[in-house]
Structure 1
């Protein structure tokens, strides 16, 4: 009898698991009801454009699921072209959609099991693992089946790695946003203040990197405006071509900005088998008539070799600008700086994997920054600037000032703390 009672006490109740699985299924259905119709709308538009070639109706679902596969990082071969360079702006939007759905799953699961119990310490993680595992499997399963069977997608190691990172980073972001880092093994030892400062610094660095990439691109277009203008003259309608090219480049904006950072860092951008273009070397490889691609060809001035200093300056300024922020970074010291660098590297590595691939013929069969070296180089240059910034804060005495200020605060509040009233002053029988 006692053994039976113990078994009943330790066995998890199936009701929370059923609710968890159902909640994950509903979130995936919501996402699919947005993604799949949107893919069909885009495919129908392309089918109408290509109607002059008498394309069959079967091309519509094929293109719709091929688009879903490409946006998710898989490789697609259709109409004699290879596509594995994801439109990164659309990919980023889909990532936020998936991450938001995972966030709702985590919040609902946390409500069913707010914390681990002493009797069943693994129960919370079992329920959360069931929720997130169901969410990932139910989303990735139909995607892979429909993309391979209908969309002519091919599951390559790189494509599978992209899809894996796409889902894992979305789920990790959702879990951290809802529960923080205290529930994650290996990160629970970090103080909340340390994580908050490091995450804020990493976020500031990412936005600053986007701004730097945009500035470099604009400067390159201004300096080489003649070459950029020549790209439009080959089209029958330069105005319409310019508008269309701007829209297409906007769809790949995150990859373009990251490629600009790789060019600055010296790892450069590969253009098929024709070489690599970077701040240290130029190439004369033929490229399609697109504005930003024209910036990769031709010779560069000698002073472009100093471009990595921009990344060092970016890291330096993000650390020292803002007195309160500098104090917080100095208070967390090298631990906070190391965590911020780690977050930055993970973000850049994911971007690097999605920024390269094949996009049809004309020298773009193997296009993009190196996924192995570009993230390391960019993070290293920025890390040098961050370390220099922390050293400058320490040399300026701001860290000491912060510490002394905290000690003075403690003494101030200790002095102003009211003394306890003696028990014999107030009688319990007296009116208060």
Structure 2
């Protein structure tokens, strides 16, 4: 991230750095992060705010990331920083901003919420989610909050402030107009009115920018050389990544199997992968053949995060405790985004009517038909994100004899698809394999 901001080619990922241009000059905009604190200095690792001047009026923009970032990214990438409460971090800089003669303050925050109101209607007190509590705790000088993270589109009023979000991937644009009166004696430059509305980026209404179009075409031409490469044939045109009521998906089964296959020679007996690491279903562009073929782009869309596979040793008792750390599919935790997909040979049953921490049925966890020994030791293959406690799977940090295989999860999936085709049994199923069984 610091290289993205400052430029240069020195990177832990030399396969990515300066591949498009011989020298990368750095971003032409400023990253802001009031709540990302350097462990050594105790100060933000990046500027907490930036002041722009528009028509003689100063406007401050304060930036903040999600406080729970540490649970969402690999721990080794953020070892030198920590994340503090968003509202506290933002409020900390308001006096300094005011001392520079700035009364108009805008917050840019990567946290959000949701509402049932239409995207193009300003809704009062209709927003819900983590952003609401943050907004209510902000300094009264802050009147506008531009939010993110939840991929919703809204313009809402919360506690007298305007809170916006423009969905995701450029689908929406939020147009925001500030009315600022420089003549107010006590607060020159105070925001007196805010008008915000979301606009659908209809390509028929808004012609593409010529420079950006040419740039994207250049990128696409270079990328297509790799993305269009055929990988393998699969068993059916669509392998779904959505989980069933038990918490299992057909693509989750396939991904876990591929990771077990990739690390079996290193001693792996079990593979587990988090549901959130599987971004999309695996779709072939062909629907008229018995075994449709997928290319690199289609496979990469399913597992885009670049995690390596880590082997570690867990006891049977630890494996049961690990499964209890899942967010089960019930009224309290309905999305199932933090469910583990498990490799073939492993199975278990869980009871939704039991309290959290006691849902895996005793004796139901089996490996190749044999009940796991609570005191037995098993080699487990997991991706590097959850191996470091990501998605709340803190128990994996207790795994012994850790070995980084160096094998990328995307490479593991690609190789498994290729070998399955070569064996005459293209991979993939229409339904989950019932490795996980839900009771009640």
TM-score (norm 2): 0.25
Give the number of the structure with larger relative contact order, counting CA–CA contacts within 8 Å between residues 6 or more apart: 1
Return the structure number with greater helix share: 1
Q: Which protein has the larger Cα radius of gyration, Structure 1 or Structure 2? A: 1
Normalization by structure 1: what TM-score? 0.26
